[in-house]
Amino acid sequence: MIQSSIEVFNIEKIIFEFSIQGSISLIKPYGSGHINDTYFLKNQNSDYPDYLLQRINHHIFKDVPALMQNVQRVIDHLRSKLINDKEVMTIVPLKSGMLYHEDEQGNFWRMYHYLPNTKSYDLLENEHQAYEGGKAFGRFQALLADMDASLLQETIPNFHNIEMRLECFHQSLTEDAVGRKSEVGNEIAYIVEREEGMKKLLNLGKRGVLPLRITHNDTKFNNVLLDSNDKAQCVIDLDTVMPGYVAYDFGDAIRTIINTASEDEKDLNKIQLNIKLFEAYTKGYFEEAGTMLTSAEIESLIMGVLLFPYMQAVRFLTDYIDGDTYYKIAFEKHNLQRARAQLQLLLKMEEQEDALNEIIQEKAGYYLSKL
Ligand code: ADP
Ligand code: GN1
Ligand code: MG
């Protein structure tokens, strides 16, 4: 039995449903994701793989069959292009052949092969890691550039649609379900002041200036696995791979890479920009994705950089006002702390916007000259 924060699962019974090799000698909670629950399963027999079991948050991913079909299709597409098996995830099906298991309590479970000797980082340690991250997410976009987008369903509709996020934010303020609105006046003002400007990227997309591509949509740095030499090995967390704009992935990755502090840092003075890491990520990204980008997309990257701390702040603050119904929290006011940290990051980025954009343009120079 495994006890999560509020529930007890019969994990052994769940594992039994999956078509695994060998037998499991150890089960332990794993990772630092905010949505799903992940468990590492150690195989007793070292000739067989270790596994990762995940409980999918079906309150957020409402159509689990469609989600798993998306993940399988993305994996199939990547596998058709990649030579090395270690660079792509492997789903472990149920004994029945299905891709997920629904338990008696209505929880949804899936399993992957655990990729051995890999690491993921919540905070980066050096430029080499940033460069490898840029390559990994750039390559991911490039490999999916010729995938038929109609094969993918929107697992969370309007996921990165800032207009919709702001509508939800205002709706939550109107409802003020748990009476927290009066506490966050400064944060609300900060968000409201920037509303129109932050719709620029979406509007370019709506006008057809930016092509809709297949993007990852959750490019936090801990969603790329690096090998023991810190070389990029595999992009993971494929739940939100859907049509999107390349600047979304660029911006969400930079949000975690450039920040010298954690996503939820309490001490706002610790939130500074590490420009060297930004430069290294951007270099790696262009090396892999540069040749597929249009000049409008290159121009849009800086908009993604500013949009993502803003959008995350809007989402975290909305959740705080709603009474913490979406993200897992570790303590009271966690979502408020996260929102404040993201707004501080945005402030720092606004101060450096021109310098950041110059770096993007410099790294893009070669690719722009080929257009
Ligand atoms: P979440 O949606 O909760 O972020 P992830 O799918 O990103 O869940 O997995 C959580 C963590 O588990 C990752 O950050 C990574 O450290 C690890 N992980 C995920 N998939 C694998 C894998 N196939 N092999 C090794 N580690 C993995
Ligand atoms: C969630 O599951 P995880 O922790 O990788 C969220 C992302 C946010 C992120 C913020 C489905 O990602 O959109 O950027 O938290 N995923 C979903 O840390 O909402
Ligand atoms: Mg993740």
Domains contained in the chain, CATH given = 11-113 (3.30.200.20), 127-368 (3.90.1200.10)
**Average pLDDT value for the chain:** 95
What is the average per-residue pLDDT within 228-257? 97
Residue 52 Cα to ligand 1 midpoint, Å, equals 8
Cα distances from 270 to residues 107, 262, 315, 348, 350, in angstroms, run 39, 9, 22, 11, 17
pLDDT score of 34: 94
* Paired tokens of 193: 């002041």
Q: Is the pLDDT of residue 143 over 60?
A: yes
- Are the C-beta atoms of residues 100 and 64 closer than 8 Å to each other? yes
- Ligand 1, atom 12: nearest CA belongs to which residue? 31
Please report the atom of ligand 2 found closest to the CA of residue 33: 4
Q: Which residue from 52, 108, 217, 226 has its CB within 8 A of the most atoms of ligand 1, so it is best to mutate?
A: 52
pLDDT score of 6: 44
Bridge-based pairing of strands 51-56 and 242-244 is unpaired
* Paired tokens of 336: 């408020």
Residues 185 and 308: their CA atoms lie apart, in Å, by 21
Residue 223 Cα to ligand 1 midpoint, Å, equals 7
Q: Is the pLDDT of residue 350 over 70?
A: yes
pLDDT score of 98: 98
For residue 138, how many other CB atoms are within 10 A of its CB? 27
**Residue closest to 255 by CA, chosen among 123, 135, 359, 87:** 123
Residue 269 Cα to ligand 3 midpoint, Å, equals 27
Residue 371 Cα to ligand 2 midpoint, Å, equals 35
Q: Is the pLDDT of residue 2 over 60?
A: no
pLDDT tens, position by position, 122-135: 999 999 999 999 99
- Ligand 2, atom 12: nearest CA belongs to which residue? 34
Q: Is the CB of 33 under 6 A from ligand 1?
A: yes
Show the ligand 2 pocket: residues with CB < 6 angstroms: 33-35, 60, 218, 220, 223, 237, 240, 263, 312
Protein residues with C-beta less than 5 angstroms from the ion ligand 3: 33, 223, 237
Q: Is the pLDDT of residue 4 over 70?
A: no
What is the average per-residue pLDDT within 234-250? 97
Residue 207 Cα to ligand 3 midpoint, Å, equals 32
Residues 320 and 128: their CA atoms lie apart, in Å, by 36
What is the average per-residue pLDDT within 302-327? 98
Residue 27 Cα to ligand 1 midpoint, Å, equals 15
* Paired tokens of 91: 């789903």
Q: What are phi and psi of 3, to 5 degrees?
A: -105, 120
For residue 6, how many other CB atoms are within 10 A of its CB? 5
pLDDT score of 5: 46
Q: Is the pLDDT of residue 344 over 90?
A: yes
- Ligand 1, atom 10: nearest CA belongs to which residue? 31
- Ligand 2, atom 11: nearest CA belongs to which residue? 35
pLDDT tens, position by position, 82-92: 768 899 999 99
Q: Is the pLDDT of residue 288 over 50?
A: yes
pLDDT tens, position by position, 57-91: 999 999 999 999 999 999 999 999 976 889 999 99
Name the helix (H) or strand (E) containing 280: helix 275-289
What is the average per-residue pLDDT within 221-235? 97
- Are the C-beta atoms of residues 122 and 222 closer than 8 Å to each other? yes
Grade residue 8 by pLDDT with cuts at 50, 70 and 90. Answer: low
Residue 315 Cα to ligand 3 midpoint, Å, equals 17
pLDDT score of 7: 61
Cα distances from 124 to residues 164, 236, 257, 261, 305, in angstroms, run 31, 17, 7, 10, 18
- Nearest ligand, CA of residue 335? 2
Contacts of 69 (CB under 8 A, 6+ apart): 99, 153
Contacts of 73 (CB under 8 A, 6+ apart): 147, 151, 152
* Burial of residue 311 (number of CB atoms within 10 Å: 0-12, 13-18, 19+): buried
- Ligand 1, atom 19: nearest CA belongs to which residue? 236
